[in-house]
Chain A
Amino acid sequence: MISPADMNPPTSTVVNNELRQALTRKSAVRPAEVAFSFLCKSAAWSSLGILCVLVGSVMWKSWGYLDWQFLTSFDSQRPELAGIWAGLLGTTWMIFLTFLTAIPIGVGAAVYLEEYARDVWFVRFIRINLSNLAGVPSIVYGILGLTVFVRMFDLFAREAIVARLTGHIVEAVVILGVEIPLPLGTTLAAGALTMSLLILPVIIVATQEALRAIPPSLRHASLALGATRWQTVRYQVIPAAVPGIMTGIILSISRVIGETAPLIVVGAVGFARFAPGKIGSLSDLAHHPGGLLEAPFGKYTVMPVQIFNWVGQARQEFQGVAAAGILVLLGLLMLMNGVAIIIRNRYQKKLRW
């Protein structure tokens, strides 16, 4: 320790008044600073406020309709007996079937584009169009689904190419004892395939971004250990990309649960008193397990279409039923997103970055 007294020659400290002047604050507050932070704060809180008002008013309207009976009943002409059970089952099936097709195709496409494809004009063209596709209005996908899946380009119609080539009018194929109608018609499968098309761009783009965020050094390290391209992708790259892929899935869950227009176009039923595959309860499942395979090829409804149908009813009481349906829809949305986020976080921990 050196104290000033030890120093040679003796020191002195002179107060620099000019510096004191420069360092002194001019006013107690900076108005622009305060105003800007207030604006930002109110923007953030207003969005929360609007959500509260929205949920509050829906709750108010749904009063007296949202109960256990509503959750477990099929639809009815009488508002007090109407329920959302068919839509709840239909939406659950829809989510399952949509992701069953969209995840493998979406992740596969992204892996190809990022890990395998060379940077040629055609690949660049696909990349640009993927971003564009994510912005196409959903009704357009509905019309696409109508042509491709519901009608299958009318290939199976009388006088059309299949009938002329085979000499028979093909109406269905039977695989593993399950009758698959051709064309698919207004079945759950046609609806789910349409929804897959709708969310594919979102999943592909999210997966691509997740793959791009993985440092090339990880791939090089794996290749240098004598891993093949496929082993590198399978054991190092994809596991590291799972959290990013899950983000894409979380974004698309909301769309699958909420989309109405394209499903009306591809023939979801507005008023349904049946469950997909005739499985409306656990005892149905026990008596008729084959229904699990039949469900995708039968008629269906989903929650938003049911709600849309109720809103259009003349009787005023159905507005309350619709409000109750909206609350169930929001509840399912939060539940599904919550589950997906938990899975993602668990995976992130498992990754041990």
Chain B
Amino acid sequence: MAKAFTNLMNDRAAAEREKAGASGSPDAGGEGQIVRRMKVETRKLNFFYGPSQALFDISVQIPEKSVTALIGPSGCGKSTFLRTLNRMNDIVEGARHTGEILLEGINIDGPEIDVVALRKRVGMVFQKSTPFPKSIFENVAFGPRLTGVSDRRELEEIVSTCLKRAALWEEVKNRLTDSAMALSGGQQQRLCIARALATNPDVLLMDEPASALDPASTSRIEDLIFELKENYTIIIVTHNMQQAARVSDMTAFFYQGHLVEMGQTQQLFTKPREKHTEDYITGRFG
């Protein structure tokens, strides 16, 4: 049963890939070599909180099924950038932006876009784990319930699949009706990941998901990110440079609202193009 759900998810992804291929994917070029489709893209994104500008001309391309780390000192705009991608900034009064944000080539700011549907496809995990004050089961089932899934068997299937994907199933399978608040910090964070997976997203945004956790829990989350990469496009904000180096394929360095440099993680950490980046990753400032 669980497998059916997984297959369903994969089938959908495959169908979409075909569809995109037929209509000519934007990055279909590069003769002979394997082309990775871009999942998320921004073009000249400027972001403002009231009168103050938080992001300047950010243009990035993030390939699907990869992990992209956003690094930079506090207040550099990386979290703001992350929150524009599922329009969580909409709820901030006085926030506005210019430029384009594209999810698989579709402008997510278009007037016809349903922000509620968008957020189901672009899941988010916060820095502080935020389990609902309900049972473990109800936490994961909340998303599917919103979309109208009410069949108990179906919900159980989704809950177990998502908890397995979030590497939490073995620890909680015998106490799904216990309060989520009783879990440890690391377990709560994995529960939040499972909860985000339950709405069947294909992009996962993570805002410093391990910064409040001990080293053992952090390493579990990192392993999990590595596994999830197979099916999801992950964008992670982190303060921890080693973490960025360990888990990500691409890294983007933000400084004072500007995107200083973005590239393959290995290249950025070993041969940064910009002096600024080098200073930051070697700990000379920040």
* A residues adjacent to B (C-beta < 8 A): 118-119, 215, 217-218, 220-228, 231, 235-236, 240, 351-353
Contacts and interface: CB of A to CB of B under 8 A. Distances in A.
A221 B133 contact: no
A236 to B, nearest CB: 6
Given A352-B135, A352-B179, A352-B180, A225 B195 contact: yes
A118 B182 CA distance: 35
Interface string B132-166: 11110000001100110000000000000000000
Contacts of A235: 142
Contacts of B126: 217, 220-221, 224
Contacts of B178: 352
Residue among B91, B118, B128 with max Cβ neighbours from chain A (10 Å): B91
Contacts of A218: 130, 132-133
A118 B128 CA distance: 26
B128 A231 contact: no
A226 B126 CA distance: 15
B66 interface: no
Contacts of B195: 225
B204 to A, nearest CB: 11
Interface string B35-50: 0000000000000000
Contacts of B117: 226
A220 B119 CA distance: 11
B124 interface: yes
B181 interface: yes
22 contacts: A118-B93, A119-B93, A217-B126, A217-B128, A220-B126, A221-B132, A221-B192, A222-B142, A224-B88, A224-B119, A224-B123, A225-B142, A225-B143, A226-B116, A226-B146, A227-B142, A231-B146, A351-B133, A352-B134, A352-B180, A352-B181, A353-B181
Contact of B88 (A119, A223, A236, A352): A223
- Measured as residues with beta carbon below 8 angstroms from the partner, the interface class of chain B is 20 to 34
Contacts of B181: 352-353
Contact of B199 (A118, A226, A236): A226
Contacts of B124: 224
B143 to A, nearest CB: 5
Give the interface centre of B118, B126, B132, B196 by most chain A CB atoms within 10 Å: B132
Contacts of A226: 116-120, 143, 146-147, 199
Contacts of B147: 226
A344 B130 CA distance: 24
B113 to A, nearest CB: 13
Contacts of A352: 133-135, 178-182
A118 B91 CA distance: 11
Nearest to A118: B93
- Among A215, A221, A225, chain B packs the most CB atoms within 10 A around the CB of A225
B127 to A, nearest CB: 9
Contacts of A119: 93
A72 to B, nearest CB: 45
B88 A222 contact: no
B132 A236 contact: yes
B86 interface: yes
A351 B91 CA distance: 26
A12 B240 CA distance: 49
Contacts of B86: 224
A228 B180 contact: no
Given A221-B126, A352-B179, A352-B181, A227 B146 contact: yes
